[in-house]
């Protein structure tokens, strides 16, 4: 008598997939129901600070912030620096580079007369990010892979059922390109979108900033 593979909600290897054809109809549907009842891995939540940009908003993880400095700020302009670097500022006894985050991301200048200075770190080097204003903190839930798609949408999750194939077909349909408040050359520093706000990958963004400053890219 041939033994049928036991229905399980665990991930299948290639041998188990080949054995699926040996299942009776009732065993196959028992297996399918077990998969539908799988509980996804617990999502982790990280708090982000909402920051205004001249072209929209962005979210910066609180874990990356050393300090939030209110205006006024006394900036000293240096020669041969990118246009999005309005100068350096004294912070805790040292001079640090200051970046106009809106100009860096979008190429569009904004009024920074009352801007907020956010102190972040790159390889233990403090850097200041100037933003027109800041808002509230917001938690973002992310799965075990710690990734965020540009199509992420918050909201209740639909219960698992066998209409999932129809949903997958809808997702596969062509979509119009989304308009985002950043230049294509800055995509690496953006994880994705959350309710219309850019979710920044700060370490990658800062690494790019430092590299561009070192190469003296005054005009891009």
Collapse the DSSP code of 132 into the 3-class scheme (helix H, G, I; strand E, B; otherwise coil) and give the result: coil
pLDDT recorded at residue 34: 73
- Stretches where the chain sits below pLDDT 50 are 1-10, 144-180, 217-220
Domains of the chain in start order, with CATH, are 53-137+179-214 (2.40.50.180)
Give the pLDDT of residue 147. 44
- Cis upstream peptide for 72 (omega within 30°): yes
**3-class DSSP state of 90:** strand
pTM above 0.85, yes or no: no
Q: Which has the closest alpha carbon to 113: 58, 75, 78?
A: 75
Residue 189 is encoded by which pair of tokens? 């520093």
Over residues 93-103, the pLDDT tens digits come to: 999 999 999 99
Residues 99, 130: contact at Cβ < 8 Å? Answer: yes
pLDDT at 126: 94
């Amino acid at each position: 008598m041939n033994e049928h593979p036991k229905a399980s909600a665990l991930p299948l290897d290639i041998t188990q997939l080949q054995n699926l054809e040996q299942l009776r109809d009732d065993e196959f549907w028992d297996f399918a129901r077990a998969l539908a009842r799988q509980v996804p891995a617990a999502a982790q939540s990280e708090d982000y600070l909402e920051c205004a940009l001249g072209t929209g908003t962005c979210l910066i993880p609180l874990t990356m912030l050393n300090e939030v400095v209110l205006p006024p700020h006394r900036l000293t302009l240096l020669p041969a620096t990118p246009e999005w670097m309005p100068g350096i500022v004294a912070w805790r006894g040292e001079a640090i580079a200051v970046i106009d985050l809106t100009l860096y991301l979008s190429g569009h200048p904004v009024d920074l007369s009352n801007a907020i200075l956010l102190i972040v770190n790159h390889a233990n080097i403090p850097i200041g990010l100037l933003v027109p204003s800041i808002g509230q903190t917001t938690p973002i839930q992310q799965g075990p892979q710690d990734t965020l798609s540009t199509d992420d949408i918050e909201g209740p999750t639909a219960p698992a059922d066998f209409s999932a194939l129809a949903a997958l077909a809808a997702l596969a349909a062509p979509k119009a390109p989304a308009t985002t408040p950043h230049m294509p050359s800055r995509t690496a520093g953006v994880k994705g979108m959350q309710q219309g706000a850019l979710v920044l990958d700060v370490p990658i963004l800062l690494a790019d900033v430092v590299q561009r400053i070192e190469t003296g890219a005054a005009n891009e």
